[in-house]
Structure formats: structure tokens, C-alpha cells
Amino acid sequence: MFSHPDFDDHETVIFSRDEACGLRAIVAVHSTALGPGFGGCRMFPYEDEDAALTDVLRLSRGMTYKAAICELPLGGGKSVIIGDPKRDKTPALLAAMGRLVAGLNGAYIIADDVGTSLDDLAVMRRETAYTAAATAAARQPLAVTAYGVLQALESATAAVLGRTGLAGLAVAVQGLGNVGMPLCGYLAARGAKLTVSDIDPGRVAAARRDFGAKAVAVDAIYDEAVEVFAPCAFGAILNDDSIPRLRARIVCGGANNQLRSPAHDARLAARGIVYVPDYLANAGGVIDYHQERIDDRPAAVLGAVDRIGAITADVLARAAASGKTPLTLTDAAVRQRLAAARPAPPPN
């Protein structure tokens, strides 16, 4: 594990197996320098354990960066359960996951993610106090991640395109799940012109019906002549194959780990494409958790998520002035905050 390419000085990585209920899970806590590690629990039928480890290491690091760039008193963590949520998820398995989290004594706070739900958290909460969505208001549906992407996208179009609104803006949205679909709703309400793709034909049909979106094949979304490309599905989609095909000026979306490797940030910049760091654009969920402990009313939560737009505007202005990429600047800011929060080593 320590030689894994995605291991980034993670504080804790735990592999857990409960034979009685079939639980096979990995919990990764990347950093607690700024506060307890917060992040969702993803249940997915990974091809193998290495794929699951790669996912949990990358996602937990991303959670640290989300919290740090938004100056929240939280660290980064993530958990994955290896299995098909439609077939393998049971109350006993969820209870075992809750006990695993409880054993970390607050170093990791678990939330919902792909393959898990708020109802699943309620089962885990019988075993551990360290869960998100603990209040009634916090359990109400609220598209906080999509709203945060909207704030980042609005700031990016103002900075890069000189726009004062989104009416007529051409946006390609890749993926119509829990982030992509509500993002389409926000954009359509503001007059944007949408092109969409998804592996689920039903979701595509809904976007066409509800938002007047143009539908294209899954692999054709990269080739669309749009101003903004919004990845809201899988990670590692910005790579040697896709970047030369992009015709957008801005990449700003809700997917995690959009770059296949750090080198692809520079390759986007070389093509004149402004990349809004994914961990900034999609930080709405971690802001939501922090805010729900202060004031969990929906208006207060969305108001707190507004900060993503202000941070994006500041980062893009500094990037334009310095000639550095936005990701270079945000990475440096995160590392500085983490270093400042760590205790000084004892004197020799």
C-alpha cells in the first residue's frame, strides 16, 4: 500500500471484512490536520481490491483538498464497500459498516455517496454517532453539489468569457446523475443551451423533455462545440485521448478526480482551456456538512455554498495575473494550510 501511486501520506487506511454479513470495506483517512476526516461511503462492484484501493485513496485526498480550499475545520476521509448495492446491501452489512466507523473514534465522519443513501446512514447511525445528515433538515433533498458547481461555473464564465449571465451559454454536461441532472436544471433556469450524455437512456430522455437539452452519444460529448464542458460522471476523463477533442473554453464540473494525471492540467492550459479544479467546484457536500451543524435550514446551506463562486473568482483572477494554472494555485494554498496546521516536530 505504501508504494501505491495514489498513496499520499494518508494517516490511516483500514481493510475490514465481516464474514457473517459479507462486508468487504476500505476506509481511508487522508488528513486530520484541519479537523476530522469527512467523506462519503461508496458502494460499488469494483473489479478487484486494487481498483477499490485506488478509488478510496484518491477520493479521500480530494476530500482533504475540498475542505482546505474552502477553509473549513475538517479533514478528508472516504470509505468504499466492495459489492453491488442492488444485490449485496443489507441492514446487517450497513450496521457492520457503522461499527467500523465507530471504532475510529471520530477520526472519520461518514456520509452518503454513490451506492449509499441517507436511509443507509440512518442504519449506520444506530452503531455510530459519526455520520452526516443527523438532523431532520439535513435529511431533506438539496442539490448542494450541483449548486456549488453552478457558482463556480458562473464565476468562470465571467472571468474567462466576460459574461454577466448564462443566457445562451452553450454547456455540455457529461453524466446525469445526482449532480449532473440538477445542474442541468439550474442552467436551464438561467437560459443556458444544454448538450447532454449519459449511459442511461431514461435520464437522457428526461433532460431532453425537462430542459430542452440536445442529446449526443456518450463518447461524442467531448466533440461538441460548446463554451463549457461540465464533467459530472466518472473520473480520469481528462486525458490524452479526450483533451485534444475538447472544443470548450472552460472545464467546470462535479465529477471527482477529473484529470487522469497531474500532467493533464498543463495540457489543458496549453490548449487555452481553463480548468476549474474539481475539488473546488464540487465542494458543496463538505460545506453542507459543516453548515448543518451551524444552521441547517436550506437557505443557510445554499448561502454557505455561495463561497465556491467567490473562491473561484479569486483563483481565476490570480491565475490570469500570474500565468499559473488555477490548479497550481489551489494545490499550493491547500498544502500551505495543511503544513501550517500540523504540529511542529519536537526539537532534537
Annotated active-site residue 89? The verdict is no
Annotated catalytic residue within 78, 89, 193, 324: 78
Helix 284-292 with 144-161: angle, nearest 10 deg:
130
> Which residue, among 190, 177, 112, has the nearest Cα to 151 in the 3D structure?
190
Cα torsion 336, 342, 344, 345: sign: negative
Half-sphere exposure of 61 (CA within 13 A, CB side): 15
DSSP characters for 251-301?
E--S-SS-BSSTHHHHHHHHTT-EE--HHHHTTHHHHHHHHHTT--SHHHH
Nearest to residue 231, comparing CAs of 277, 269, 200, 185? 277
Could you tell me the CA-to-CA distances from 182 to 85, 88, 150, 335 in Å, in that order? 23, 28, 10, 32
Catalytic residues: 78
